[in-house]
Chains A and B, each alone.
Chain A
Amino acid sequence: MPARPTAPRPQNSRVKARAAQPQPQQQEPSADDPRVMLDRQLGTLYEPIPPYPTRTEREGEFYSLGDGEMFLNLGPHHPATHGVLRLVLKLSGEQVVDVDPVLGYLHRGVEKICENSDYYHVIDQVDPLEYVSSLFQEWPAVLAFEKLMDVQVPRRAEYIRVLSGELLRVASHTLFMGFQALDLGGLTPILYGFIERDEIVEMLAALTGARMLFNYFRIGGVNGDLNHEFMSRLGDWMSRAAKQSQAQSALLNENEIFVRRMRDVGVLDRATALRYGVSGPNLRAAGVPFDVRRAHPYSIYPELDFNVPTRDEGDALARYLLRVDEIRESIKIIDQCLNNMPDGPITAKLPRLLRPRPGRAWAAVEGPRGMQGVYAMSDGTDQPYRFRIHDPSFVNIQTVPAILPGGLLADTMAIVASLDPIMGGIDK
């Protein structure tokens, strides 16, 4: 019998690879090691880094901490900051001492993009800025262009614009009511608000073809006539809209916890509001009856019968209740639009390529958050030479450092929500 051949024992390839590589030697960490330095500085690692040297007096004041104070970085990723708003809060315990809003996380340079696109394309570029009620961002743009080109808009188109705009105002305010409750910890109103908004948005989808970014207004008119589905959905909704919004606001108005958390919180007085240039419901809640629809009438608003509700308190509750009142007025306007809807064309006749004469135009409409304005300048080419957007949220959010200090951390959410900012428009 032959002897069994002896083969060398096969080695695992992984073992070989491990043996080939030199093992890292355990070393004592030196003081220069960045990780060690990081470890030592951990106590101050998460503080906001002040610019050095501080550029303004205000900056120096903000970044110097007093006794027992700390910074709290609220956002840009936070459940309650409505998008990417970042607030650097200086806290003393739970009390807010100072606040520095930091913007720009959503900046896209939309104004520049608009200056590089022709007049028709501007409409869908500005759409996503006001993403909750995007018709109100299209509206001033087309108004400004119509002023530049001296276009006469057909009356039916004006009625359709007002009708769809007021519907969207109701949707936006209903959603605001839900978000206000959500930021105070109430789970349910936001879902009721979304149900209401969904009905409106679905009917607008039947009219415009989109649920959110409508791209519906055109220079000299609108993109489509009223159709059967829209009208039947609208009639269905109108039959219970007032009752439904009443029921939804009662869920919060009659809630003691909600009212107590909103009353006397974030008081924006008349003088401060005017100094900052606040507009819209936030200004009217401070007692100034300024509404672009009445102060600088456009479209068919002079013919319509509606009130401009105001409140004198200027606190978060007043801002909330004012929007509830505005929903009622909007429903009134929708009713009048439906009753007086004229027949006729829905667009003016315009050439394919628009080349307005050199000039400049300013147009503003009253959006759900305030005055939505556009300043457009033409140099005779098919693109606007300058296109400037005035966004109400941008102005309204500036009042936060003025009205927030002295409140508690929890009030921050109530106040920011009651100003109803939309970050798309703020960062542009």
Chain B
Amino acid sequence: MRAIPIRPVLAYPGQFWGRRSLVERLAMILIPAAMVAAVVTAVVLYLAIPPLLDFLGANFPLIRFFIAATAILVLTIPTAFVLIYLELKVIARMNLRVGPNRVGPWGIAMSLMPGLKVLSKEDFTPTGADATVFTLAPVVTFLASVMTLLVIPFAPGVVGLDLNIGLLYFFAMGGLTVLGLLMAGWSSFNKYSLLGGLRSAAQIISYEIPLTLSVVGVIILASTKTAQTLSLNHIVLAQSGSALDWFVFKQPLAFLIFFIAATAEANRTPFDMTEADSEIVAGFATEYSGMRFGFFFFAEYVNVFIVSALAATIFFGGWNAPFNWPWPVNLNAFQPLSYGPAVWFAVAAMVVLVGTYFLAMVVRLLGGRSWDAGSALVMGAIVIFVIVGGVVTLAGFIALDWVRGIVWFMAKTYAFVITFVWMRATLPRVRVDQLMGFAWKWLLPASLVNLFVTATAVLILNR
């Protein structure tokens, strides 16, 4: 019988470590480290929770501000994706095209693709560019547009920060956007970028004046109804009632001026001078690629949303319903939490599971052989989630005033968003001199006349 040689377990001291792959090495380091960290965290939390709770209680406004700011920053991402998809699809339909229909059902995941693309691209700085300014420019633009969202009231109580100078803050922050564009145009070391940056400076500064003046009439009217403040919450409250109380019917000229100036402020067609693709290639963004370009791209769509939201807030009653709904359903007797969370969890799980199987069965029966079991199940799950989500939203719409507020607010805002998209599909671009001439010769005098008439009327009527 042949002797089986005994192989040494370790031929030399470091062999065990040397033969491990990178993942194994990382796991061997990280898992014990994580265990230690978990224990340490638990001990620290046990010791720190009472003082932390005290701290949170004592600094509630600060904590609320942090949470609101984070929520708004996170909110911009789905908003931008929805807007990009809307623009792709709506313009496509207006051009008699089909539009995106490959990524996801009806192409709804299409707008994720440019997002992933810009993330995976090289972060490139051209030779001769001022690297610091070049890097900071998209950050300034993006943050300036996101920060304006802080004062927009989405629903009663759902507002980032109810500033008493809300409108002023909004215009100040919105005006900062131009700084980023100018920085990008200057630092890119490209003549197209330079032209784009200078155009944006000229355009946004010119249109800022009629934009701001057009809402002064609204502020005067709102001050006669509620407290004398620039808070957007108060402007919305001053429009409560039916649709006839909205300021668009009391200030139609102001709304027109506001809408035109806001289009210019958001760099949308027909005023998209700063990135006129048939003239100056991509304007300030010519040299940008990767996620830096992505920030500009995001900022542009967030700007559209913000401008629409402000138009809805100031002139179309914000979260107010267009009519006084006689709410017949009183859900006060219905106390869901009285049954205990376990029962609710079980019911919800059963509804979703049984509903999925039931709908999958229906899909299989109706759709025939083209649906295999997996597809039918996925379709059933999608449909049941849509139904459950719809039912929950409807219940919230009936029972909770903040859900109602958000639904009305979003409906109005997206109506404006689609108007902007519609304009982009329809109108050619104006020329630079026509753009400036229009702002100074027409919009500015018109907004001054509007302000004068409003102020006189309020003075006479309120005497």
* A-to-B contact residues, CB < 8 Å: 4-7, 9-10, 42, 45-46, 70, 72, 78-80, 94, 181-188, 191-192, 195, 252, 255, 257-258, 260-261, 408-413
CB within 8 Å for A42 and B128 given contacts A80-B278, A183-B278, A185-B276: yes
> A72-B192, A187-B95, A261-B430 are known contacts; what are 4 more A-B pairs with Cβ within 8 Å?
A78-B281, A79-B278, A184-B429, A185-B270
Q: Which of B127, B192, B277, B432 contacts A408 (CB 8 A)?
A: B432
Known: A187-B95, A410-B279. A45 touches B128 (CB 8 A): yes
CA distance A181 to B429 in the complex (A): 9
Q: List residues 54-107 of chain B with CB under 8 A from any CB of chain A.
A: 91, 94-97
Cβ-defined partner of B195 (8 Å) among A94, A187, A413: A94
Contact with A along B273-290 (1 / 0, CB 8 A): 000111111000000000
B96 and A410 contacting across the interface, CB-CB below 8 Å: no
A4, B195: Cα distance in complex, Å: 76
Please name all residues of chain B whose beta carbon is closer than 8 Å to the beta carbon of A72 when the two chains form the complex.
191-192, 195
Of chain A, the residue at the smallest CB distance from B269 is: A185
From residue A343, how far is it (CB to closest CB) to chain B in Å?
40
Whether B11 and A4, one on each chain, are in contact in the complex, defined by CB atoms closer than 8 angstroms, is: yes
- The digit string for B411-444, where 1 denotes a CB below 8 A from any CB of A, is 0000000000000111111111110000000000
Number of A-B pairs, beta carbon distance below 8 Å: 99
Task: Determine if A9 and B278 form an interchain contact, defined as CB atoms under 8 angstroms apart.
Answer: no
Across the two chains, which residue of chain B brings its CB closest to A259?
Answer: B428
Q: Chain B 116-127 against A: per-residue CB contact (8 Å), 1 yes, 0 no?
A: 000000000001
A80 touches B279 (CB 8 A): yes
Task: Return the chain A residue nearest B270 by Cβ.
Answer: A257
B303-346 residues at the A interface, CB under 8 angstroms = none
- Check A42 against B127 for contact (C-beta < 8 Å): yes
With A183-B278, A409-B279 known as contacts, the answer to whether A257 contacts B11 (CB < 8 A) is no
The answer to whether A9 touches B14 (Cβ under 8 A) is yes
CA distance A185 to B428 in the complex (A): 5
CB-nearest residue of chain A relative to B9? A4
How distant is the Cα of A46 from the Cα of B191 in the complex, in angstroms? Answer: 10
B interface majority secondary structure: loop
Determine whether the beta carbon of A188 is less than 8 Å from that of B426: yes
> Chain A residues near B433 (CB, 8 Å)?
408
Whole-angstrom distance from the CB of A259 to the nearest CB of chain B?
A: 10
Pick from A94, A192, A195, A255 the residue with the most CB of B within 10 Å: A94
Q: Which of A42, A186, A261, A409 contacts B280 (CB 8 A)?
A: A409
Contact with A along B122-144 (1 / 0, CB 8 A): 00000110000000000000000
Q: Closest A residue to B127 by CB, please name it.
A: A42
B368 at the interface (CB under 8 A from A): no
> Are B191 and A257 neighbours in the complex by a CB distance under 8 Å?
no
Rounded to whole angstroms, the CA-CA distance of A401 and B432 in the bound complex is 22
Residues on the A chain within 8 Å of B279, using CB: 80, 409-410, 412-413
Given known A80-B279, A257-B430, A409-B280, contact A187–B12 (CB-CB < 8 A): no
Bound together, the chains give a CA A183 to CA B270 distance in angstroms of 13
Residues of the B chain whose Cβ atoms lie less than 8 Å from the Cβ of A191: 95-97
In the assembled complex, 6 residue pairs joining A and B whose CB atoms fall closer than 8 Å, in A order, are A4-B10, A80-B279, A94-B195, A191-B96, A195-B96, A408-B432
Do residues B428 and A184 form an inter-chain contact, with CB atoms below 8 A?
yes
**Of the residues B269, B277, B428, contact of A79 by C-beta under 8 Å:** B277
- How many residues belonging to B are interface residues under a CB distance threshold of 8 Å? 38
* Neighbouring A residues of B281 by C-beta, 8 Å: 78-79
A70 adjacent to B429 (CB under 8 Å): no
Task: State whether B430 touches A94 (Cβ < 8 A).
Answer: no
The CA of A78 and the CA of B430, in the complex, are separated in Å by: 20
Q: Counting CB contacts under 8 A, is B50 at the interface?
A: no
Report whether A192 and B96 are in contact in the complex, using a CB–CB cutoff of 8 Å: yes
List the A residue with the shortest CB-CB distance to B192. Answer: A72
Contact status of A187 and B425, CB under 8 A, knowing A4-B11, A413-B278 = yes
B273 to A, closest residue via Cβ: A410
> Which B residue's beta carbon lies closest to that of A265?
B431
User: Residue among A42, A46, A186 with the most chain B CB within 10 A?
Assistant: A186
| Chain A residues with CB below 8 A from B32, complex form | none
- Measured CB to CB, the nearest residue on chain B to A186 is B428
Which chain A residues lie closer than 8 Å to B10 at the CB level?
4
The reply to whether B428 and A408 contact each other, CB–CB distance below 8 Å, is no
Measured between alpha carbons, how far is A72 from B286 in the docked complex, in Å?
A: 14
CB-nearest residue of chain B relative to A412? B279
Report A-chain residues with C-beta under 8 Å of the C-beta of B199. Answer: 94
A251 to chain B, nearest CB (A): 8
User: In angstroms, how far is the closest chain B Cβ from the Cβ of A237?
Assistant: 17
B51: interface (CB < 8 Å): no
Q: B300 at the A/B interface (Cβ < 8 Å)? A: no
How many angstroms between the C-alpha atoms of A45 and B14 in the bound complex?
57
Chain A nearest CB: distance from B257 CB in Å? 17
Complex Cα spacing A411 to B433, Å: 11
B374 within 8 A of A: no
Tell me whether B272 is interfacial, beta carbon within 8 Å: yes
Contact A261 to B96, CB < 8 A, known contacts A185-B270, A187-B425: no
A257: which B residues are within 8 A, CB to CB? 270, 427-430
Residue of B whose beta carbon sits closest to that of A89: B191
Chain B contacts of A261 at CB under 8 A? 428-431, 434
Q: Is the CB of B8 within 8 A of A409?
A: no
Closest A residue to B91 using CB positions: A187
A185 near B272: Cβ-Cβ < 8 Å: yes
When C-beta atoms are compared, the residue in chain B nearest to A185 turns out to be B429
**Please, how many angstroms separate the alpha-carbon atoms of A192 and B427 in the complex?**
14
How close is A74's CB to chain B, nearest CB, in angstroms? 9
Q: Please measure, in the bound complex, the distance between the C-alpha atom of A360 and the C-alpha atom of B248, giving whole angstroms.
A: 76
CB-contact partner of A9 in B12, B128, B192, B430, under 8 A: B12
Q: Given the complex of chains A and B, what is the CA–CA distance between A252 and B426 in angstroms?
A: 10
Among B12, B270, B278, which residue has its beta carbon within 8 angstroms of that of A6?
B12
Q: How far is the CA of A321 from the CA of B428 in the complex (A)?
A: 17
Residues of B near A413 (CB, < 8 A) are 278-279
